[in-house]
Amino acid sequence: MRVLITGVTGFVGSHMAEYALQQGAQVFGACRWRSNTENIESIRSQLNLVEADLRDYSSTLEMLAASRPNLIFHLAGQSQVMTSWHAPAETLHTNIIGQAHLLEAIRYRGAPFPKMLVVGSSEEYGLVQEDELPVTEARELLPLSPYAVSKVAQDMLAYQYFRSYGIPCIRVRAFNHDGPRRGEVFVTSAFARQVAEIEQGMRLPVIQVGNLKAQRDYTDVRDIVRGYWLLLERGVPGEVYNLCSGTSHAVQEILDFFIANCTVRDIKVQQDPARLRPSDVPCLYGSADKAKAVTGWSPQISFEQMLRDVLDYWRVRIKQA
């Protein structure tokens, strides 16, 4: 089994590579020449790395020719909501054009086509009212950020290429997921890094925060990549599936957990306006019933264990810095 993972050096890509190797797959990982490979150092010798930039069509064709995959997990792209506010055109170009090149390259090479998982986001749903929770796949898409718009486009491109050309794309809308190796621009790692630095005396006992009231549906990344594998294995091409826990947690809960587990006491909290989004959804959680019915998937790692592993990851990183 030949598996291609785009964005293999990223947070999710590195966990996806680990899981695919555990399944006995021959794993090809696509990355740009300047990609930071820190996340895959422990498994690098087991991977077949392919240098590629999906924004370049000829590079994408060469990537497919080198990997000749049976399965594709498309994880490459600009993944940060906040960044998309500052660089909307770059976000749209990277995510939409990159995927268009990938689909066109698959079409050009011809049948038999590899099965492809296109990873969307719960951000696609946008402004969700309380009476619409939990969110199902049938809910209207009302994106509230350039990032969310780009994910809607990726979602629809996958559907269009399945209908137009028969490329077996399976779409997934993943809700928030976290775990070890999460980038520090995301809320869990942002808090965990600050706590780890406070414990090492590298900063004053003050944590900078954004909106603490927002409630989100969190799942551990290791459960998410297992769900991705099962969906590509058992999901129906052309269909879309949510992956989520079905419960929500306020950002305040995350902050409280890290403060309670910090070895330093009397920590102050300070709001940073730069961490606030221009628009935000008060509460969002989904239903994964459709995915569970097809794959039997359900999360196995608890919310608390996920946060504990994020904190331990940053403690090790800060000590080694």
pLDDT in tens, 231-275: 999 999 999 999 999 999 999 999 999 999 999 999 999 887 777
The pLDDT confidence band at residue 279, using thresholds 50, 70 and 90, is low
Buried b (16+ CB within 10 A) or exposed e, 285-305: bbbbebbbebbebebebebee
- What are the boundaries of each domain within the chain? 2-177+218-243, 183-216+247-284+302-320
Which whole number is the average pLDDT over 85-109? 97
> What integer pLDDT is reported at residue 33 of this predicted model?
84
AA identity, residue 270: Q
CA dist 188 and 5 (Å) reads 25
Give the fold, CATH level 3, of 183-216+247-284+302-320: UDP-galactose 4-epimerase; domain 1 (3.90.25)
Q: What is the homologous superfamily of the domain 2-177+218-243 according to CATH?
A: NAD(P)-binding Rossmann-like Domain (3.40.50.720)
Q: Which residues pair with 6 in a beta bridge?
A: 30, 74
User: Does 2-177+218-243 match 183-216+247-284+302-320 in CATH topology?
Assistant: no
Query: Which pLDDT tens digit goes with each residue over 116-161?
Result: 999 999 999 998 998 999 999 999 999 999 999 999 999 999 999 9
The pLDDT assigned to 321 comes to 75
By DSSP bridging, strand 215-216 and strand 249-250 are: antiparallel
Quick one: pLDDT band at residue 185, thresholds 50, 70, 90? confident
């077949």: which residue's tokens? 48
Whether residue 276 is predicted with pLDDT greater than 70 in this model: the reply is: no
Altogether, the residues listed in the chain come to a count of 321
d(C-alpha 82, C-alpha 10), whole Å: 17
